[in-house]
Copies of this chain bind each other. A is one copy, B any other.
């Protein structure tokens, strides 16, 4: 495995665990086992490896999400799969956990891949919600329900972590499934 790959893998691990602001170049060197010269040869600055890490994390998550949606029939089955997927609640979402990182706020290049991922997720959820038929009678707004689904997952990570209780995310997802009326 070449140095660049080692650096990128370590950066992805550290950004997931600690965020961007709280990860230093020295941590990256220690975690990757690579020397300082190599780091600044492959990446010109902290922002450069942070952006590469976030872009790669977003690409991974996009692939996983696409696989999940294409493995199920469009509609309620996809929503059930998305909301029942096993998640490491206490680790946090690889992308969502960065929402309040000061370096993400200060640098739009770091936020852009995350924003794009969530837009893609909404685009997958929209037809699934529509297909449940619950919105046809005009009682439900599709975009509102889509946003509630995204929020329940992201918020479940937050309340799980703050309560040190992995079950909180599961309960939140089950609650939303029941409210959607698709919890079998």
Residue ranges of A at the interface with B (Cβ–Cβ < 8 Å): 18-19, 21-22, 92, 95-102, 105, 111, 114-115, 118-119, 139-141, 143-159, 161-164, 168-169, 171-176, 178-180
Contact = CB atoms under 8 A, between A and B. Distances in A.
Contacts of A149: 175
A156 to B, nearest CB: 5
10 contacts: A97-B99, A140-B179, A141-B175, A144-B171, A144-B178, A145-B179, A150-B155, A152-B155, A155-B157, A179-B179
A143 B171 contact: yes
Contact of A162 (B102, B114, B178, B179): B114
- Give chain A's interface secondary structure class: helix
A145 B175 contact: yes
Nearest to A108: B164
Contact of A147 (B144, B154, B168): B168
A145 B162 CA distance: 18
Indicate how many identical chains form the complex: 2
Contacts of A162: 95-96, 98-99, 111, 114-115, 118
A56 to B, nearest CB: 17
Contact of A119 (B141, B158, B163, B171): B163
Among A102, A115, A150, max chain B CB count under 10 A is at: A150
Contacts of A99: 92, 97, 157-158, 161-162
A115 B150 contact: no
Nearest to A142: B175
Given A152-B151, A168-B147, A118 B175 contact: no
B159 A158 contact: no
Contact of A96 (B146, B152, B158, B172): B158
